[in-house]
Amino acid sequence: MTGLTELTLAEACSALRQKKCSAVELAQAHIRAIEKARALNAFIIETPEKALAMARQSDARVGRGEAGPLEGIPLGIKDLYCTEGVQTTAGSHILEGFVPPYESTVTANLWRDGAVMLGKLNLDEFAMGSSNETSHFGPVISPWRRRGSNAALVPGGSSGGSAAAVAARLCFGATASDTGGSIRQPAAFTGTTGIKPTYGRCSRWGMVAFASSLDQAGPIARSVRDAAILLRSMAGHDPKDTTSVDMPVPNYEVSVGRGVKGLKIGIPKEYRRDGMATEIENLWAQGIAWMKDAGATITEISLPHTRHALPAYYIVAPAEASSNLARYDGVRYGLRIPGKDIADMYEKTRAAGFGKEVRRRIMIGTYVLSAGYYDAYYVRAQKIRTLIKRDFETVFDAGIDAILTPATPSAAFGLGEKGSADPVEMYLNDIFTVTVNMAGLPGISVPAGLSTEGLPLGLQVIGRAFDEETLFAVARVIEQAAPKIAAPENWWA
């Protein structure tokens, strides 16, 4: 077969089962694509030898009739997931050279089902960022460009490497993680589909922690169906993670074609923000029209505490990060900078090992947890979080099946355009996504149109806890109704 990298994940699974191609051929095609796309800086580590070895094992299993659900499918792994024997850095200098002796549960699930690892994908350092510009290994460059311009664009963050690699046809899908929008925002920026599952649906064991009560694993893929196939393999109960929920994992692929007839779709009035870009407003209106045409009922709803979500998030997340990142001290693993005594060694190691954004968030987190400020900031933020969760519960209890919102306040922006003078400018990119993490709910971003500059725009669907099936059904309706977004023009090869 020709054009192997142009297949969807579902099509590749079918081609392998019908023996129209081999797993080795799929791996080789993607390895060649990755080698030609190094200008994107999507991968921190490429693992071609490992990919080919895994592909040969897949071909042997296919030959014996023992193929798993993802047998022979080449994937990229966000470098936040520990991979046994392969460097895992979380995009940070402080973990450069760290080779885990164990496998994360999510990646172990993928290898159990036959997937093939192409390498480790770039990300904002410790997943702290909305543009993939904070990585120690340099920024990821989006495969997309504005119409008539060669200016480099960001792919979104923190899962920028995952989104860029999927959009550029370097892998059929990728693992990602979402703490405040880090799956959905880069998916929206790159014309890919990304789902943040319900908190507890996927194990966090073996994922480098950012904010433990907010982090959740999920996939980025080329289509809604591909994302559904990946999530089924990634999800599941894990006794090693006490926040992992012991619930059966549905066959998400079956729910993709279910449709939305008879569903009640909520439109939150608080998401209509002053100064919202006209093209985002128009896209949202178009999404509402698609829902109506497909037989859904549209209802305006209120989520009154939405306006407090972003400031509360930027208290809770840094507080948890400051605690989680205390373990990087130069003693047990990772970078060590010698000092005159142990305290001096701690200071020098952390100063040299952490980038500016990570240091900023550690300082914010330490401040809001300090004596005299804990009640004023952290406790109050947690109370707001409870109110945000209650807002959603009230709406869903009233019969709403899913909520439709924009995924991002704009299309992708240029490298270096935001946040250099004012970090809050960058944080505002998470304005439509952080509520979902604060409430622990599932959310999906699906491509829905193009900006006036020819860049992808996404719509977000938010669902009830552990009802990812409805998200896939709604997202598929949007995917079918929206104009097809072609792959970005290949300027990097």
Out of 22, 58, 158, 410, the active site residue is 158
Active site residue 78: yes
CB 38 within 8 A of CB 81: no
Active site residue 177: no
DSSP 379: I
CB 331 within 8 A of CB 94: no
CB atoms within 10 A of CB 63: 11
Active site residue 158: yes
Which are the contacts of 278, defined by CB distance < 8 A and separation ≥ 6? none
In Å, how far from its chain's centre is CA 26? 24
Which tokens in the block code for residue 439? 């409430």
CB 114 within 8 A of CB 72: yes
- Please spell the DSSP secondary structure of 84-105, one letter per residue: TTB---TT-GGGTT---SS--H
Which are the contacts of 130, defined by CB distance < 8 A and separation ≥ 6? 124, 156, 157, 158, 181, 182, 185, 426, 427, 429, 430
- Please spell the DSSP secondary structure of 286-335, one letter per residue: HHHHHHHHTTPEEEEE--TTGGGHHHHHHHHHHHHHHHHGGG-SSSSSS-
d(Cα 385, Cα 323) in Å, to the nearest integer? 19
Angle at 112 between CA 108 and CA 117, to 5 degrees: 65
Out of 22, 50, 78, 162, the active site residue is 78
Tell me which residues are annotated as active site.
78, 158, 182
